Structures are given as structure tokens and as C-alpha cells.
Structure 1
């Protein structure tokens, strides 16, 4: 497919936002900070607004000006500076996936862990290729067959974060029993393979899978699905909410609401070991006689 260049602006936005926050905390104006750094007028404003590049070697002096000397914070911002202009592997799918989806994949690729509640679907990071094709075809109602195939490829490629060397993504997924009992009459083996995939993944130490049973007591997840994406310090946690037209992010004080909600959802779901047995039972019930 054609390689449509995507704009890798999310990391620059996060970097600019962090630098702006440190500047505000120390009480310096843009003009004062630029003067202390010996920069031309407007340079810092462009950096903070993700419209200009900052070199890694400039990070430590700028943070020192702001009174930030924590090596962990300095290293994190320097690393993000080096990666800020890089494109993700998904850039070649830029004609198929929108900017919001690309932003989410940047977050996903940088994340340390993700907590998700999925009431109607298996989460994308846990899907088999066949399951992905079926659900994308059913939900991406404005897409043709070629787009569906491409989106299924993207969904599979995203799963590399689960086994990335050194620091695999940790995922805690709560899946509703309704999603586990989905059937695909034209493709009768799809669900059995998907359930086996969940059992295989649940054996990984970095993946927890819980089942929300049909008879569960009321809980905050009843309002809909959500992803809580967390990062190593100093990056703040982000919440992703999705609908038919894509997704959007929430940060700041709103995150705590979803973190508290997730704890309650966890308490309402089956324990991990019981969830495994429940998945096995559903597999047996759906097996042909």
C-alpha cells in the first residue's frame, strides 16, 4: 500500500507539555527562560507547542534552570527528545489509520502497563488475526475489504509490545463473559481459537486476564470500555475512551476517577485462576458435539 507520511507529533506534544509544566512550576516566563538559555525569542514557545525540535544536550541545562536535577527525569526527557521525531512502524498505514489511532499507538509503544475493561470485545492486544478481521469488518462500518485487512494487520503488529525485549508491556485485562460467548456462524472456529489465545496469553507473567461474569454485581464498568495507560516516571497516566468514530484521551484529575473505577471493576470480576477455568468451560460449551 502507499506509504503516507504520518506526523509523529504526539511525543513532541508530551515533551513540550512537560517542559512547560516545569517552567510554570519554577515561575519563569518564556522570555526570561529564553534569555537565561541564550535562545532567540520564540524558540521555547515553539518547543512547548510541539512546533520546534529541542536537542537532547539542551535538556539538562534547561531543566537545571527550572530547578529540576533528578537524573531519572532528565534521562526520561532526553530519551523522549531523541525519539520525538521518529515515525512508528505504522506510518506506512497512514492512509488507513487516523491521527487519533496513531497517537494511541505511540502511547502504547511507550507505555509500561495498560489496564483495560472490555465489555463487548476482546481487547485488540489479545486478539487473533481471524477474530480481528471479523470484529473490524462488523464495527468499521465505513471501511471496505482492503481497509479491514490492513487494520487487522495493524492490530496484530501492535501485539509486539507484549513480547518486546527487556521490558514487555504489562496488561491487566478484564473481559466480560458476553464477549467470550460471541459467535461467528460463518467462521465457527474463530471463537475457539480466540479463547485458546487468551489461555495461552494468561500464562505470561506480564498478563492478567479476568472475566466479568454474567451474574456480576453492578460496577462502574457498566458505563462502557476504557483503557488506563501508565508510563515510567515522569510521564503521567492517560485514559483512552473509544467509540465508533475513534478514541480520545483524558489526563489530569480525570484519570483518578478511572483508576478508582478499575479497582471496583476488578473486585466485581472473577479471580484470575477462576477466570481461566471459566474460559475453558466456555470453550467446551461451544465445542461441536
Structure 2
């Protein structure tokens, strides 16, 4: 499949909205095509998320469908503009699953990232050797070659380019104490990873907090998650949850709000940033 034919999160969201607007008007695709003076095939491709749409074309369709809600229009037009941008992840088109590439594209455009990692250091803060140890021991590694694992490692390291964006996104990461104490890759690799965490936590755009074993029962017990704000002014927040075989996207406002409230609660329970830094340094010194 050509890259231009691949569905992405942005295209799916735009397509779902266009289909809903059309159906609200009681139009078939054929009738809508005649109204918009474009083929039914092209309209179908937009609605199915198989074709990128130009910002000006989307604006025309929204005008013709009489979509006047400024928040909705701004959100969709922002998604259209971002969805047509090229990025480093395109170099991995033939080697990684579309869902993985889609996640990187969303993450690269983020203004804010909020992440909870129960068992592992978050990918945006990993050293290369720690990332290799994580990926090599993961469930997906059981069906991947050593070359594919190295591709995954390279891809993960490329994701960290966002730290050099001007301005960089605001990143808040909460790590369970288990993520700090599990010596993945051996003592030396693990130690360097924790020192890297301390270093990264001193950057002004990164906040790292530790959720200690002694913490009360907390809502993060259900597992790790990441909330990505992908357009300016918080117009769209997306929750991503990873499994061994796929990435799940959650964007229903009520569901996203639940994750955001969960993250806020975890921040309240976790150690402060300064105490977290001291805790990480103490764990390293005790090894």
C-alpha cells in the first residue's frame, strides 16, 4: 500500500466527521459529490480516511455542509494541516506497522505529553541500550528478527527528537517504583538509565515524578497510558494505550477526561519532582 493510501488517526477523525456532517444533511455520497462538484470516489476516500485532504478543500466542504461551529472547524482544519506534513517517521514506512508510525506522528506534533509508566521507563526518556533491552525482552520480540528489533530501537531513539523542538512540548512523566528498580539489561545499563532520568528531569520542559511502593491504592493500577495534546490550545487530546500487538486510541471527551483526572490524581499521590530526583539518585547509590 502506498503511504498516501494509508489510514492515519487524523484522516480517520476527519473522515468520520465528514461522514457525520453529510448524513446529518440527509445526503448520499453521490448527492454530496454533486453538491461539492467532486467524484463520489474521492469523497469516499476522504470519509474512509484513505486520502489526505487539503486544508482549503476541507474548508470548502465544511462551508458547503454549513458547519459553523468554530471549535469543530478549527480542530478539523488543524488536523488536516498537520496530516499533510512530512516527518522523519516516513523513513520507516516499509519497515513498521502504520499504527506505530501514526503514533509517532501524533507524538511529534504534541504540545503536551502526560504519561504514566507502571513497569518501564517511558520511551521518550530511555537510553538506547535500555531501549534495546526493553524491546528485546518484550512480547513482540518473540516474532521479530534481530534486524527488526534494531529498527525498533532506531525508531524509538528518533522519537526523542521532540526534545529539540523549539519550543519543546511540555512532558510530565510519572513512573512506578518498579520501573526504577527492575534492572533491565544488567546493572550497568540500568544504572546509566537512571542517571539519564535524573539528567532529563532537570530540563525545564520535563517533569518526572516517582510513584513509590508505599503509595496508597491508586487509579494507575489498571496500567500504563499516555495522553497527547496534538493541536494548539488543547483542542484535541488523545489517549494512547499500547498492547503487544497494537496501539489503541481513546478520544471520546468523557473517556479522555477520565484519563486526565486519573493522571492528576497520580500526580497528587506521587513524590514531588525534587523528592523523585533524590529517590532515583538514592536507588542508584544503593546498587
Q: Per the shorter chain, which TM-score range?
A: 0.7 to 0.9
Is 2:145 the counterpart of 1:147? no
**Aligned residue number for residue 114 of structure 1:** 113
**Aligned residue number for residue 250 of structure 1:** 250
Determine the C-alpha separation between the residues in 2 that align with 1:280 and 1:201.
13
Matches within 5 A, 1:190-201: 190-201=189-200
Q: How many residues align?
A: 279
User: Does the CA contact (< 8 Å) of 1:73 and 1:234 recur in 2?
Assistant: no
TM-score, length-scaled by structure 1: 0.84
Q: Report the CA distance shift for 1:52/1:247 in structure 2 as closer, same or farther (over 3 A).
A: closer
Superposition deviation, residue 28 in structure 1: 5.6
| C-alpha RMSD of matched pairs (Å) | 2.7
Superposition deviation, residue 136 in structure 1: 0.9
- Greater mean alpha carbon deviation, residues 250-259 or residues 80-89: 80-89
Superposition deviation, residue 270 in structure 1: 0.9
Q: Deviations over 1:138-178 (max 9, x none)?
A: 11232232222221111110011122123x22221100111
**Aligned residue number for residue 241 of structure 1:** 241
**Aligned residue number for residue 279 of structure 1:** 280
**Aligned residue number for residue 67 of structure 2:** 67
**Aligned residue number for residue 157 of structure 2:** 156
Determine the C-alpha separation between the residues in 2 that align with 1:207 and 1:249.
24
Q: Report the CA distance shift for 1:61/1:93 in structure 2 as closer, same or farther (over 3 A).
A: closer
- Greater mean alpha carbon deviation, residues 248-257 or residues 195-204: 248-257
Looking at secondary structure, tell me which structure has more helix per residue: 2
User: Does the CA contact (< 8 Å) of 1:121 and 1:175 recur in 2?
Assistant: yes
User: Does the CA contact (< 8 Å) of 2:6 and 2:50 recur in 1?
Assistant: no
Determine the C-alpha separation between the residues in 2 that align with 1:23 and 1:234.
27
Superposition deviation, residue 111 in structure 1: 2.1
**3-state SS of the aligned residue for 1:141?**
helix
Determine the C-alpha separation between the residues in 2 that align with 1:12 and 1:202.
35
**3-state SS of the aligned residue for 1:68?**
coil
Matches within 5 A, 1:257-276: 257-276=258-277
Determine the C-alpha separation between the residues in 2 that align with 1:129 and 1:203.
19
**Aligned residue number for residue 9 of structure 1:** 7
Q: Deviations over 1:84-133 (max 9, x none)?
A: 35554223334542222122112212222221111110000110111111
User: Does the CA contact (< 8 Å) of 1:125 and 1:158 recur in 2?
Assistant: yes
Query: Structure 1: 5+ residue runs without aligned partners?
Result: none
**3-state SS of the aligned residue for 1:183?**
coil
Determine the C-alpha separation between the residues in 2 that align with 1:273 and 1:120.
21
- Greater mean alpha carbon deviation, residues 213-222 or residues 12-21: 12-21
**3-state SS of the aligned residue for 2:207?**
strand
Superposition deviation, residue 41 in structure 1: 3.9
Matches within 5 A, 1:1-289: 6=3, 8-10=6-8, 11-21=10-20, 27=25, 29-30=27-28, 33-41=32-40, 43-65=42-64, 66-68=66-68, 70=70, 77-78=76-77, 80-85=79-84, 88-139=87-138, 140-166=141-167, 168-184=168-184, 187-232=186-231, 236-252=236-252, 253-286=254-287
